[in-house]
Structure formats: structure tokens, C-alpha cells
């Protein structure tokens, strides 16, 4: 019997991506779609590419009968998300795609997001949703916090290297090239086609991007000591994809071996042959991660390049993967579509 799914915040890009994925997921069906600001509208008017699906019209959160729902995805902006989730039934399974339950420490949350958490008591309950590293906890969880898309990319690259002890923990640089859908359906001048196409720039330079909170929490816990990385995102004239170029100190072959070892049995994470490099072209629209390792001409240094689709594996695909675990469905169900190329 298919699981009944509600999506709260269905009018944003991650909401639309959830619907795209569930459209061909044999174990899930969409029972309710909420978007308070667009309640009453049809999904066909908000996202015409979904018009063939016969979806329920958008409603407000209050209008959903959660007794009929097996799992809710919450795809709201951060801060709003915590306020909504706080008031949902305490027995409802929830995958939150916002930033609100990623950080376990209320002080860290406030430091990076600038406001006191409205549901601090739930921060401890939430399981960090990086599937490949929290599989058991996620399967048992009621509330799972989807990771940041950049945070996911960086962790797929670095976690096995910390675990294997093959890199210098004080010399980690993550230079990321991020497609624009990561900014959501926001009306800002720099996201206009006229101002973004054909050019690119760094932003949040110098260690100010909020996903650093996740890196700090996860890498430090894993290493058993403080780990602080450098991370610079760049806005790309492209709609989907994150490419992370990591500059590391360590032996490239050992780094490659550690990654191969860590991901040997993972269905979605592909470690390329040594010396090959991935492209965001080759993972677009899919749940796959491609990782490539190369040694630098300077001995003892390596470059690891990783690519994933920020909306899919970096957000909604990860959320489905987690929901599969929480609902007792096969982890890869509905997620094996090949990338769209060209």
C-alpha cells in the first residue's frame, strides 16, 4: 500500500522537486500540498510542468488532516519551518528540508541564523539527515533534518578522509560552484537571468556562509577535536548543480583509497578512477554524487572534486531517501532515474 505524503511549502523549488520525484515513486502518493501564501491555487498554475499529475490544490497547513498522512515533508524557509513543525502532531513523521533542525546546539543555531530557536527542545530530537552516515538513526527517527546542499557536498568529500585520518585537519579549503536554484524562488536582482547568465562571482566570502555551522558541528564531532574549514561559495550561471573543489594536504592515493573504501557499497556515490574529474553535467536531475581525486604537482597535496545536484541529492532527493528509510521502503526506491544530459 502506498504511503500518504503531505508536502508543506509546496510552492518552492524543493517542494516542486519532491513532487517530481514522488510522481514516479511506486511507494508514495501525494495526499496534501500546503503553501499558505498560495492556498487555493492549483499546482498547475504555480508549476505548469506538474500539470499532468492531477495534484490536489494548494491548501493551508491548518487544512491538512494529518491523521491521514504517513509522512510530511516540510519545505519551508528556515525560521518559518520551526514554527510550523513545533505545532504539528508529535507523532507525525517529518522530514524537514530547512536549516532549522540541522544544528543540535541552540547557541550555534542562534550564532549562524541570528534568532533564538522557537522549538529548541526539538533540536536534540532531530536526526541529521546525511543518509549515508546516519542511516540507522534516520530509519528510527521521527524528525529528520535535511542537510544544507553545500554542507552535503562538502561532507561527502571530507568525512571519509577525517575518518581515515589521511588529511591535515587544519588545511581544508572547499571552493564551491553553486547553481542558482540553491537560492530558491527568490526575487532578487542578482538572480535575474539578465544579471546572472554569462557571468559568476564569489559570495559569502571569508567564512560567513551558514552551512559552515554544519561543517563545524559534523567535522569536529567526527574528528573529536575542533575542525574549521575554509569555504567559499560561488554563484554560477546554471540552474542545478554544486561542484566542490577541495584543496587538501595528504597523499592523493590514500585519499582516493579512503573514498573508494567508504563508498564501495553506496548506491548513489560514485568514486571515479584516480585522476578523473566529475562534472555537474553528469549528475543533473539525479540522486548521484560523483567524486574524483587527483594529486597536485606539489607532493603531499591533493585536489578532490565532487559534484551533485543541489535540488535532488543535495535536498529533495536526500529527503526522499530518508523518507524511504523512515517508512520502511527500499532506500533507493523512486530515486534511480538517470541524469538528464544534454
Residues designated as active site = 149
Count CB-CB contacts under 10 A for residue 245.
Answer: 15
The least distance separating a copy of itself from the CB of residue 295, rounded to whole angstroms, comes to 6
The least distance separating a copy of itself from the CB of residue 137, rounded to whole angstroms, comes to 26
Residue 6 phi, psi (nearest 5): -115, 140
The residues in 213-252 that bind a copy of itself, with binding defined as CB under 8 A, are: 228, 230, 232, 234, 236-241, 243, 245, 247
The residues in 46-75 that bind a copy of itself, with binding defined as CB under 8 A, are: 47-53
The residues in 7-26 that bind a copy of itself, with binding defined as CB under 8 A, are: 13, 16, 19-20, 23-24
Q: Which is nearer to a copy of itself, 89 or 275 (CB)?
A: 275
Q: Measured between alpha carbons, how far is 181 from 293 in angstroms, rounded to an integer?
A: 27
Q: Measured between alpha carbons, how far is 311 from 316 in angstroms, rounded to an integer?
A: 6
| Binding test (CB under 8 A) with a copy of itself, winner from 68, 111, 137, 188 | 188
Q: Which stretch binds a copy of itself (CB under 8 A): 63-71, 77-85, 110-118, 180-188?
A: 180-188
The least distance separating a copy of itself from the CB of residue 315, rounded to whole angstroms, comes to 13
Instruction: Using alpha carbons, select from 325, 332, 336 the residue that is nearest to residue 146.
Output: 325
Q: Measured between alpha carbons, how far is 72 from 297 in angstroms, rounded to an integer?
A: 50
- Answer whether the bond into residue 342 is a cis peptide, omega within 30°: yes
Let me know the angle formed at the C-alpha of 295 by 290 and 299, rounded to the nearest 5 degrees: 155
Decide: is 113 part of the binding site for a copy of itself (CB under 8 A): no
Instruction: Using alpha carbons, select from 6, 24, 232, 220 the residue that is nearest to residue 108.
Output: 220
The residues in 277-316 that bind a copy of itself, with binding defined as CB under 8 A, are: 277-286, 288, 290, 292, 294-298, 301, 303, 305, 307, 311
Amino acid at each position: 500500500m502506498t504511503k500518504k505524503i503531505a508536502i508543506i511549502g509546496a510552492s518552492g523549488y524543493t517542494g516542486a522537486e519532491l513532487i517530481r520525484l514522488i510522481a514516479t515513486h511506486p511507494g508514495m502518493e501525494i495526499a496534501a500540498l500546503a503553501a499558505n501564501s498560495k492556498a487555493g491555487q492549483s499546482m498547475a498554475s504555480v508549476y505548469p510542468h506538474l500539470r499532468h499529475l492531477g495534484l490536489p490544490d494548494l491548501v493551508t497547513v491548518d487544512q491538512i488532516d494529518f491523521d491521514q498522512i504517513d509522512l510530511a515533508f516540510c519545505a519551508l524557509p528556515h525560521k518559518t519551518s520551526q514554527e510550523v513543525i513545533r505545532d504539528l502532531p508529535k507523532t507525525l513523521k517529518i522530514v524537514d528540508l530547512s536549516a532549522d533542525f540541522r544544528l543540535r546546539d541552540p547557541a550555534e543555531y542562534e550564532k549562524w541564523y541570528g534568532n533564538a530557536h522557537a522549538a529548541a527542545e526539538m533540536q536534540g530530537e532531530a536526526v541529521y539527515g546525511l543518509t549515508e552516515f546516519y542511516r540507522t538513526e534516520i530509519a528510527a527517527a521521527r524528525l529528520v533534518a535535511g542537510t544544507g546542499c553545500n554542507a552535503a557536498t562538502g561532507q561527502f568529500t571530507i568525512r571519509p578522509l577525517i575518518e581515515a585520518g589521511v588529511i591535515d585537519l587544519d588545511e581544508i579549503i572547499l571552493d564551491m560552484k553553486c547553481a542558482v536554484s540553491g537560492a530558491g524562488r527568490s526575487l532578487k536582482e542578482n538572480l535575474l537571468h539578465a544579471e546572472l547568465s554569462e557571468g559568476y562571482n564569489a559570495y559569502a566570502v571569508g567564512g560567513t556562509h551558514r552551512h559552515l555551522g554544519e561543517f563545524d558541528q559534523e567535522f569536529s564531532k567526527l574528528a573529536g577535536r575542533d575542525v574549521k574549514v575554509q569555504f567559499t561559495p560561488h554563484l554560477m550561471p546554471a540552474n542545478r548543480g554544486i561542484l566542490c573543489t577541495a584543496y587538501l594536504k595528504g597523499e592523493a592515493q590514500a585519499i582516493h583509497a579512503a573514498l573508494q573504501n567508504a563508498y564501495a557499497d553506496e548506491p548513489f556515490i560514485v568514486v571515479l578512477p584516480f585522476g578523473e574529474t566529475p562534472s555537474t553535467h553528469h549528475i543533473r536531475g539525479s540522486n548521484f554524487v560523483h567524486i574524483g581525486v587527483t594529486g597536485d604537482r606539489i607532493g603531499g597535496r591533493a585536489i578532490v572534486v565532487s559534484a551533485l545536484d543541489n535540488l535532488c541529492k543535495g535536498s529533495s532527493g536526500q529527503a526522499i531517501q530518508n523518507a524511504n528509510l523512515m517508512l520502511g521502503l527500499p532506500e533507493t526506491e523512486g530515486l534511480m532515474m538517470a541524469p538528464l544530459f544534454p
